[in-house]
Amino acid sequence: MEVLHHILQIALEYYWIPLLILYIGVIGTILIENRNPSKTIAWIMVIVFLPVVGLLSYYFFGQKFKKVKRMKRVYREQSKKLLDAWRKESEIMEEHIDTLNERIGSLAMVYRYLKNQKISTFSLNNDVTLFINGEEKFPVLIDSLKAAQHSIHMEYYIWEMDEIGQEILHILEEKAKAGVTVRLILDSFGAPDVIKYLRRH
């Protein structure tokens, strides 16, 4: 009994340590979720001033369960579409693998790798331009964006809201207003300012 009493005493004396770690973890999660700033502050205030109630409220109402569920459903649908596309393309590509070897030589092994790993679909007759630096790339990119008639698809990890970044963003806005389909994939850590700007507009 003395041992149990001693353990209980220690638990009561230091119970705040795991609670503090839990609070820091929850607040940190809220801060990196890229919520609306007012919602972020509101949840932090609730958790700080109503400790137990705040944590329970956040668990049941603050978590993005619906969004996660929807994303999982979209992922399953996209995976199925990609698998179906692979099955169709695989039959066609296997018929022309000899031609592929003649055209690109040992690079045909890349196709084999993509096929085995089912990473992405494969296509031919693409044009690729290699740019060594931003001074070469951005003038060409801006001209291409201005000339776009039907669609624009862009994917970036880092996007700074500097002079060039803002110019490109304004071009995309104008193109979208003109009826051009604009799709932009950004990373929330690499382009937080752009994401905030897009949410405001």
Question: Given this model, what pLDDT does residue 14 score?
Answer: 61
47 found inside a domain: yes
89 found inside a domain: yes
Query: Where is average pLDDT lowest: 9-13, 86-90, 93-97?
Result: 9-13
Whether residue 112 is found in the same domain as residue 76: yes
Question: Given this model, what pLDDT does residue 122 score?
Answer: 64
Q: How many other CB atoms sit within 10 Å of the CB of residue 118?
A: 14
Whether residue 76 is found in the same domain as residue 40: no
Q: How far is CA 111 from CA 54, 79, 88, 193, in A?
A: 52, 19, 15, 37
Q: How confident is the model at residue 179 (pLDDT cuts 50, 70, 90)?
A: very high
Q: Which domain holds residue 16?
A: 2-63
Cβ neighbours of residue 119 closer than 8 Å, sequence gap 6 or more: 113
106 found inside a domain: yes
Whether residue 57 is found in the same domain as residue 93: no
Please state the length of the chain.
201
Whether the CB-CB separation of 154 and 185 falls below 8 Å is answered with: yes
What are the two backbone dihedrals, phi and then psi, of residue 50, each rounded to the nearest 5 degrees?
A: -130, 70
Q: The pTM is what?
A: 0.50
Instruction: Look over the chain and give the mean of its residue pLDDT values, rounded to a whole number.
Output: 79
Whether residue 140 is found in the same domain as residue 196: yes
Inform me whether the pLDDT recorded for 178 exceeds 90: yes
Question: Given this model, what pLDDT does residue 13 score?
Answer: 64
124 found inside a domain: no
Question: Given this model, what pLDDT does residue 65 score?
Answer: 61
- The total of structural domains in the chain comes to 3
126 found inside a domain: no
Whether residue 74 is found in the same domain as residue 33: no
128 found inside a domain: no
What confidence tens digit (pLDDT) does each residue in 33-87 have?
Answer: 666 777 778 877 887 777 777 777 777 776 666 666 777 788 888 878 877 777 7
